[in-house]
Structure 1
Amino acid sequence: MSLKKKNILFISGVLILFLSLYWTGTFADSQGGHTGLGHDPALSPNDEKIAFTYFENDHGTLYTAPVEGGKAERLLEPEEGKDDLKPAYSPDGKSLAFLREWDGEEHLHKQLMFYEGGHARPLLDKEEYVPFADFAPDGEHLYFVKNSKYTETYNDRTQPNGFDIYKMNINTGNTEQITDMNSVSISSLQVIEGGEKLMYSTSYETSSIKILDLQSEETKTILPESSDYSEAQSPALSAPRLSPDGKVIAFADVASKTENGTFQYEIFTMNMDGENITQATNVDDYASNPLFFQNSQQLLITVDRNFAGRQPDYEYWIVERDGSNKKEIHIEIPEHETGAP
């Protein structure tokens, strides 16, 4: 065998060995999956606590912690193979709605759950896929987004489709359908104006924000007056949230690109007419999920320091609406204990 052929075989063998080691985890994440904070924390009505998901080796469990940081409390024992995500506080701050997620044989499940007094119970069947939920001001009703069907994709897998907004009485389970959109995508939900209206967003083809008047059933569409602020092909309007006074919408969008073309997301604000668009943060990474404090001019945001990497590296920050006085919330995760919201 020639020296050239031997070199080719050697290089090929090294490459195969490297790829094998990489994908089996030798060169990849040695911990076996994401360990750290989750993407979607919730802020309590009195601005004193946050509820969030903490992952250990890709397994997510709900915790609460003081908003200024410090020791966290775990709310529930983790269920094997399932993650507890997207908590939402009740108006009195004593209970939570959240989503329990796991991968089934045919599709991904997101089951609507209710936490109170140290215990959790399902509000809907496991086959009803719920990506978003928010409490009505009375605390007895819950608005949520739910699919009506699953459509086939590939490899005998299906995905949820036909989304609409529903309202449930938490005590009785009585549920009514609020919209008749049969939408491919509803990408956020917030109960606003004392429960008289809903704000949601859609992200199919183009992103837009909608305001639904529950009495008149009329819908208003909100779009930025100009797309010049965004480096995306069209505005992303991710995770929009309305301020307590109903005057300002905060949202995430593409503010810049790195040299290798990776999008960098920042938090923007605008008024209800889509005007006065202002960039509120400069994290130069990935800022998202803005939440307004009730009693101050601050925002709680989520930052991913490894947005383009294989595993996320989330942090929670508090910033003024103009981006000043930014500070990170440092949370201590204790070992295996339960608490209350």
Structure 2
Amino acid sequence: MKKTNKRLLTAIALVAILLISSVAFLLMRENDHYKYFTGLGNKISLSHDDRKFAFSYYQDGKEAIYASRTEGGKTEKLTNPAKDRHRQPVFSSDGKKILYLSANPDKVQSLHIMNADGSHDKKLTNDKLSVGGAIFSADGKQIFFSGFPSKELGKAEGESKEGSDLFSVSIDGKNQKKLTDQDFYTMENLMLSSNGDKIILKDFDDLKEYDLKDTSVSSSSILGKLPSQSYNIAMSPDNIKAAYTAVTKESKNSSLYKYELFFTDFGTGKKKQLTNLKSAIDSPVFFHKENKIAFLHNTNWAGEPVKFKLMTVNTETKETAEIGLDLPKSIRSNIIMKAIDYSVNDWTVGLLYTALLCLSTYYLRHGKVYRPGLISLGLSLLTFASSFIIAAKYDPWAGIAVGGLAVAVFICSILALIFAFIVKRFVS
């Protein structure tokens, strides 16, 4: 009996140590799905002569800017970040310059410009602003970009006091100006009108236009020509056609929406679905001299990290083709750290907590066998009650998280009480 109890105490101590270690690991771990990832980033750009793609690519978690010929094959690495991640490249109209964003470890994104071969890299914004996206002006001498104060980064909804606005800066980094002061909720899909006098942007479900001449902001004239829930909008060079992603009718009744690529011709009014890949599409971009659109096909929708394929679709025949890229492979295995990252999760903590309760219950099999389960049950109810206080006084999302924790503890407690009943009935 003494040996049994000694073994039980050893097992209880071991499980308790594993539980505490797992919780500490989860609290300290950076929630980064791309830590070990090798694959394409979520943005592509096409040069105006239709000869080159620019895109970001992860190799073992390090994201850099690459370029390739549009027919695929050999790729060229243009940037070599140490700790930052380089993403969202944009070609200038003459193809000689590339804009990109550099995200530092604090996730603040700064704007950079470089030559198309990767030389003469220059940082254009400081870390007081976090940049969301950028485009060149029609003459290539200015850059328009969206940004918000980096101090607002990571704040919960309702806590942040400032939103995104539109800025301009010369390509030499001088004369930075704030063009709007409207605190947009989002500023996505920055696009330049065909004559270069307006900037089109997406603010949540609304399309806005900023007039560079009279500095006014108004609803875009193309707003009524697209479905209300259009995403990843891209305009043809002449602004007569648009490509966008939207939820398919077939998937609206399913548990997972599918986002396909759609096409609208404003001249004829015709609309059609271009892809049927039954997943999700990102970053469509029109070719300038061909009836084609390049895009990124999300092959593991809705998993993380996102795995993309670079593809094209003919806007007339709807024929799709994958572009094969000669990209570097993973060179670091990180087997041990990957195993720890993937094995330590919420389920692990739940199982260890349940095991601790059950072992404690069995240790008390000749006494107050229900005590561990009842204490845990009381703890879950107390946690659940505190979730309302946290949600009301501090942060609604934090309150929801604490409420979720309370439910998990409650389930573990019920399992422990069921185990206690079995032990009381058949063992003690």
Place the TM-score, normalised by the shorter chain, in its bin: 0.7 to 0.9
What RMSD, in angstroms, separates the aligned Cα atoms of the two structures? 3.4
Q: Secondary structure at the match of 1:47?
A: coil
Which residue of 1 is the match for residue 67 of structure 2?
A: 64
Task: Give, in angstroms, the shift of residue 208 of structure 1.
Answer: 2.1
Q: Secondary structure at the match of 1:147?
A: strand
Alignment partner of 1:248 out of 241, 265, 279: 241
Aligned residues with identical type, % of pairs: 24
Task: Give, in angstroms, the shift of residue 102 of structure 1.
Answer: 2.5
* Contact kept in structure 1, 2:225 and 2:266, CA below 8 Å: no
**Shift in CA distance, 54/199, structure 1 to aligned 2, threshold 3 Å:** same
Give 5+ residue unaligned stretches, structure 2: 2-7, 27-31, 331-428
Q: Is it true that 1:262 corresponds to 2:256 in the alignment?
A: yes
Q: Is it true that 1:139 corresponds to 2:146 in the alignment?
A: no
When structure 1 is superposed on structure 2, of 246-255 and 29-38 the one drifting more is 29-38
Which residue of 2 is the match for residue 220 of structure 1?
A: 219
When structure 1 is superposed on structure 2, of 259-268 and 70-79 the one drifting more is 259-268
Counting matched residue pairs gives: 304
Which residue of 1 is the match for residue 229 of structure 2?
A: 236
* Contact kept in structure 2, 1:303 and 1:317, CA below 8 Å: yes
Length-normalised TM-score, structure 2: 0.63
When structure 1 is superposed on structure 2, of 67-76 and 31-40 the one drifting more is 31-40
Which residue of 1 is the match for residue 296 of structure 2?
A: 302
Q: Deviations over 1:9-51 (max 9, x none)?
A: 9xxx8xx99xx7xx99xxxx99952211111011011000000
Length-normalised TM-score, structure 1: 0.78
Alignment partner of 1:35 out of 33, 38, 41: 38
Bigger CA radius of gyration = 2
Give 1:141-180 correspondences, 5 Å limit. Answer: 141-148=142-149, 150-151=151-152, 161-171=162-172, 173-180=174-181
- Give the letter aligned to residue 172 of structure 2: N
Give 5+ residue unaligned stretches, structure 1: 228-234, 337-341
Give 1:1-341 correspondences, 5 Å limit. Answer: 33-79=36-82, 81-104=83-106, 108-116=107-115, 118-148=119-149, 150-151=151-152, 161-171=162-172, 173-203=174-204, 207-216=205-214, 217=216, 219-221=218-220, 222-224=222-224, 235-255=228-248, 256-257=250-251, 261-272=255-266, 276-322=270-316, 324-334=318-328
Task: Give, in angstroms, the shift of residue 161 of structure 1.
Answer: 3.9
The 2-side partners of 1:302 and 1:152 are apart by: 27
Q: Secondary structure at the match of 1:100?
A: strand
Q: Deviations over 1:234-257 (max 9, x none)?
A: x43212111112111211111242
The 2-side partners of 1:147 and 1:32 are apart by: 26
When structure 1 is superposed on structure 2, of 213-222 and 36-45 the one drifting more is 213-222
Which residue of 2 is the match for residue 232 of structure 1?
A: none
The 1-side partners of 2:302 and 2:120 are apart by: 37
The 1-side partners of 2:235 and 2:150 are apart by: 30
The 1-side partners of 2:172 and 2:152 are apart by: 32
The 1-side partners of 2:175 and 2:219 are apart by: 28
**Shift in CA distance, 332/226, structure 1 to aligned 2, threshold 3 Å:** closer
The 1-side partners of 2:39 and 2:143 are apart by: 29
* Contact kept in structure 1, 2:37 and 2:59, CA below 8 Å: yes
